[in-house]
Amino acid sequence: MTAADPARRVALVTGGSRGVGHGVAAALRDAGWLVYVTSRRGTGPDGTVAVACDHTDDDAIAAVLTRIHEETGRLDLLVNNVWAAPRGFAGFTEKFYERPVSDWDTLITVGLRAHYVASTLAARIMVPQGSGLITSISSFGSRGPLHSVLYGMSKTAIDKMMYDMAAELRGTGVAAVSLWLGLIRTERLLASGLTEFAGFPLDVAEDPEYVGRVIDALARDEALAAYSGHTLVTAEAGARYGLVNNDGATAPISHRDAFGGGPLFPPH
């Protein structure tokens, strides 16, 4: 197949040079998607179209979406994953009043604003074609204190953004969903030698590719419209679709109980 093949579904994964984004892009590639991946240096998994993009620059994001539309004529899936730590960031150990206010410029500008910009531009392609899925990577940081004040703010805002976008997308054929990931078995975490992190065991954490398989299954789901506007827990969605980790056997566990209850959106 070629990029111009109308039978091939097209996806954009932002921030796909490593970690969750890399795994999601690889899983979508393996599932037959034509996958575009953004990163600062223009790197991504083999077999994907890697594009350099500064996600603090609205025009740069627009250029990526324009390129995809010009090369393929469509966009079927957006995975908002890009994220950046503040300069000099040492690991979420300091309180908000001990950190520089400029932390906002990465945790909110990249971790939230860039998602809004990409979603807006993606919707301008998806709505006219009458189909598509916009997903944003969130976390249980929406439910309880996790990492930092700004981290929690950005994730809660992402959930609300997907909820409200879904309301305005109703009837267009385009869905918007927020995803709460659990502990992720990144290469860095696995190399640490730890068997658990923050009280969660690594052996039942989520492989990055597992998240991608969940998104692929969600995009294929004939009931997708019913999930639009919802915050979904990836471990629970994966269990519903019968998905497992890369070892072919392990089903990741949900952190729902550890964070005290159900999803924020839709409101009860």
Residue 259's pLDDT is 84
Domain 10-259: state its class: alpha beta
Q: What is the pTM of this model?
A: 0.94
Residue 190's pLDDT is 86
97 is catalytic: no
Query: Are the CB atoms for 122 and 132 separated by under 8 Å?
Result: yes
Query: Are the CB atoms for 136 and 179 separated by under 8 Å?
Result: yes
Q: Which helix (H) or strand (E) holds 114?
A: helix 114-129
Report the 10 Å Cβ neighbour count for 144.
12
Residue 197's pLDDT is 82
Residue 6's pLDDT is 61
Alpha-carbon gap, residue 27 to 7, rounded angstroms = 19
Residue 268's pLDDT is 65
pLDDT tens, 96-138? Answer: 999 899 999 999 999 999 999 999 999 999 999 999 999 999 9
Annotated catalytic residue within 36, 151, 163, 210: 151
3-state SS class at 250: coil
Tokens of 254: 């949900």
Residue 236's pLDDT is 95
Closest Cα to residue 132, out of 123, 141, 145?
123
Across the strands, what pairs with 134?
A: 78, 176
Q: Which residues of the chain have a pLDDT value below 50?
A: 1-3
